[in-house]
Structure 1
Amino acid sequence: MLRLRSSILTHLAIPSSSAYPCSSLRRLLSATAPPISPNPSSFAVEDYLVGTCGLTRPQALKASAKLSHLRSPAKPDAVLAFLAGLGLSGADAAAAVAKDPRLLCAKADKTLAPVVDGLTGLGLSRPEIARLLSLAGSEFRCRSIISKLQYLLPLFGSSENLFRVLKSGSHLLCSDLERVVKPNIAFLQECGLGACDIAKLCIPVSRVLVTNPEHVRMMVACAERLGVPRGSRMFRHALQAVAFLSKEKIAAKVEFMKNTFRWSDAEVSIALSKAPVVLRRSKEHLQRTSNFLISEVGLEPAYIARRPALITYSLEGRLRPRHYAVKFLTENGLLDHGRSYYVIFTMTEKVFVEKYICPHQEAAPHIAKYYAAACRGELPAR
């Protein structure tokens, strides 16, 4: 495979500059060596995908169904050479072909090169363009991707932010920019969200910009019913919490939380207005966290309702280990009673270790080792 790919690249050398003028590329492609396959009629697509492109046999079997019309490796060879010149590794090229097999049918000079030229004009580097190709799928073969990125890049602030959204799917590039994406963004801006807020919202909930604009309005109304007004600091988090959840599911989760944490209607409203993301926590997590905070730590339900951030933390990775450490230190006279568990649970790991573990290693030589083990879940609940 490597020798064959090396042969392709030798005959189809691509310039090292970031742009690929169509005329130059056309001259390069017209000057290629004779086809690698001496008998084009015997060209086996599946074997080519495995041997030259680096796909697995199951990937090749699936992709070959879309390439059954190919009778020669000439066009795929030119595409692979183009991808190599763009900076894609063999593994990245294989991933791109597996995601969009028809990429191998594209014309390097008339389809791919103009897209690369346009993206370069937007300020994207060759590595960024190569990464975009692996994320965009078939949309990379459409020149409309240039105008879409011209609009989206300033919104997201950087290519990295945009790529984080595209990791979950290329639907943002497939959607209608004028009829769907722009109206949704305009409405979210009317609700008080800036470009940075919208970008942060889209990273965990990437479909929010491509859904029906009427559904986005329903999401906003739902967030407001939770007691989180437009323009507030928590509004983006509320939208993230209710995104694509039905009224019935939200109502059921609210009722479950009321019963689990022994909250009144007013207390559950307080909790959700302060930390709407708790709606996304599983019922198992909510139940176990409630049992721990109320039954084991001894916190009052009203205390938790006013500090719902406590519910968002990992029970095994943070809450239990810190509780055990502080309880041990207190029972052995190394700490005063009456410490705020909210402060203890919410401080960063570095600060907690510096304040509660390091100062007591002489009096309790094994506390650091046991605390680290507890954070890994290796100690029993004692």
Structure 2
Amino acid sequence: MPVLCLLLMDGTFGGDLVKTLLGSSEAVVSALSCSSRLLRYDLNTMMLPNMETLRDHGVPGPKLIKLATSYPRVLMKKRDRFTETVELLKGMGMKPTSTTFILAIAAMLALTPATWERKLANIRKSMEFFVNKLNWEPAFLAARPMLLSLSLEKRIIPRCSILSILLWKGLLSSKFGVHTLLLSKKDFLEKYVVKYGEQVPEVLEAYQGKLEFVGIEAGDQCKQKKRGRGSKKHYGNWQL
């Protein structure tokens, strides 16, 4: 620790500039202590640009300190990837002033580049479905990030199809919570598929992926389309 303090005092590793963003020498020392690898880099060209990106996007000083002291390695990522992650999370409706925003950045950038690209593609695909098909606001999803971690093809779409069918048939209330999409596979099967499968054959078709969920039309109307066929079935008046 004394060595780190000395390095900061003489400006080594861009200490003065980083200290300006973090607010104190103690915060910089804490960040360096959490990851000795930081001492191998020029903080002026590696860490500082990413911190400036966060500040430019509205991340307050205390949150910068939180990220730098708890997850300093995250700030050493390539700037283009770092900036893309920040912009993605803001686009999802996450507030830069929140702790969740900082934790989400750390979680995303802890992934390998290949895994990060795959996760990024999946998140964008899920966002497109929720926003365009269900008319949900990005801010609504940002408050429920678990939804974006669920499989779109294997879980979300089949469940939306099943629920819309049951609502159209009058077997469910017109209102139910997002928790329905978060139910375990076992609970969802028992509550909706097993219970109504014999009475409503379309439920089994939807569960098996034989019905395509197209989305919500004007007047809260949902429509299902048989995969590989031109005919459409309409199921309306439902909401999550």
TM-score, normalising length: structure 2: 0.51
Aligned-residue offset at 1:294:
1.7
* Aligned CA-pair RMSD: 4.1
Paired residues for 1:28-43 under 5 Å: none
SS in 1 for 2:201: coil
Larger relative contact order, structure 1 or 2 (CA cutoff 8 Å, min sep 6):
2
SS in 1 for 2:172: coil
Q: Which amino acid in structure 1 is aligned with residue 194 of structure 2? A: C
Provide, for residues 156-215 of structure 1, a one-character-per-residue CA deviation record: whole Å limited to 9, x for no partner: xxxxxxxxxxxxxxxxxxxxxxxxxxxxxxx9xx96xxxxxxxxxxxxxxxx9xx94747
Equivalent-residue separation in structure 2 for 1:250 and 1:358 (angstroms): 46
What residue number does 1:114 align with? none
What residue number does 1:311 align with? 148
Of structures 1 and 2, the larger Rg is shown by: 1
TM-score, normalising length: structure 1: 0.34
Whether the 8 Å CA contact 2:126–2:148 is kept in 1: the answer is yes
SS in 2 for 1:363: coil
Paired residues for 1:271-310 under 5 Å: 271=101, 273=103, 277-278=107-108, 280=116, 282-310=119-147
What residue number does 1:331 align with? 168
Higher strand share: 2
Equivalent-residue separation in structure 1 for 2:65 and 2:202 (angstroms): 46
Provide, for residues 83-123 of structure 1, a one-character-per-residue CA deviation record: whole Å limited to 9, x for no partner: xxxxxxxxxxxxxxxxxxxxxxxxxxxxxxxxxxxxxxxxx
* 5+ residue gaps, structure 1: 1-186, 192-207
* 5+ residue gaps, structure 2: 1-29, 52-62, 110-115, 214-223, 225-240
Paired residues for 1:159-170 under 5 Å: none
SS in 1 for 2:212: coil
* Percent of paired sites with the same residue: 23
Paired residues for 1:1-382 under 5 Å: 212=37, 214=39, 225=64, 242=74, 245-259=77-91, 261=92, 265-266=96-97, 270-271=100-101, 273=103, 277-278=107-108, 280=116, 282-341=119-178, 343-371=179-207, 373-374=208-209, 379-381=211-213, 382=224
Q: Which amino acid in structure 2 is aligned with residue 270 of structure 1? A: T
Q: Which amino acid in structure 2 is aligned with residue 311 of structure 1? A: L
SS in 2 for 1:311: helix
Equivalent-residue separation in structure 1 for 2:97 and 2:123 (angstroms): 19
Equivalent-residue separation in structure 2 for 1:257 and 1:228 (angstroms): 15
Higher helix share: 1
Aligned-residue offset at 1:274:
5.9
Whether the 8 Å CA contact 1:278–1:312 is kept in 2: the answer is no
In structure 2, relative to structure 1, the CA distance for the partners of 1:353 and 1:313 (3 Å cut) is same
Equivalent-residue separation in structure 2 for 1:214 and 1:272 (angstroms): 23
